Amino acid sequence: MSTSADAEQYTGLILLSGVDKPGITASLFEVLSPFSITIVDIEQVVIKDRLILTVLITLNPAHEDAIAADLETCSASLDVDIASLFSYADKSMLNIKTNLVRISLSSVKLLPKAIEELAEVIHQNGANIESVTRLASNPVTTIEFVISGAKKEALNQSLSPIASSNGAEITVQ
């Protein structure tokens, strides 16, 4: 017999933001290391000099208060903001995504309209953007979108007009 405890896992979502400097990521994980936790997902991005780091962990609910207190101390010592959200989540929502499609958008002058149109096509195809990353910036800006839930063939057809109307190159992998 399955119980709700079998279908759910206690998670912590940690969001760190602030001015980037060496050692922030190492310090955050040093704080988390003494605890019996598992890292489920992690994303880090630096734009200009601003850092955003998100970490999803699974943990024993009894450790929540201690982890939250240590994160607060870490936040003060690093002079960054750290927010956390602890809750039960359906285990199926924590699974690693498969069948991901990568879309690269490249242009000498990347305009918001190109990204809006690309995002709309992704949405119309029932897909979801999982991550966005800048791969290059000079002389051509290249942005990579990793998406889930779409068919590569359908995307190729839908994205072709966007490339030509925005003076961009779009590749789907």
127 in the same domain as 87:
no
Domain end point (choices 94, 127, 143): 94
Q: How many domains does the chain have?
A: 2
Position 2 confidence tier, pLDDT thresholds 50, 70, 90: very low
The pLDDT of residue 170 is 94
Q: For 63-88, b where at least 16 C-beta lie within 10 A, e where not — what string?
A: beeebeebbeebbeebebebebebee
Q: What is the pLDDT of residue 111?
A: 92
- The per-residue pLDDT for 90 is 87
Proportion of the chain above pLDDT 90, given as a percent: 79
In this structure, the answer to whether residues 149 and 128 fall within a common structural domain is yes
Give tens-digit pLDDT for 56-77.
999 999 999 999 999 999 999 9
Contact of 9 with 37, CB cutoff 8 Å: no
**In this predicted structure, what is the pLDDT of residue 1?**
44
The enclosing domain of 118 has a CATH number of 3.30.70.260
Domain closes at, from 40, 61, 94: 94
pTM for the complete prediction?
A: 0.79
**Full domain range(s) for residue 43:** 4-94
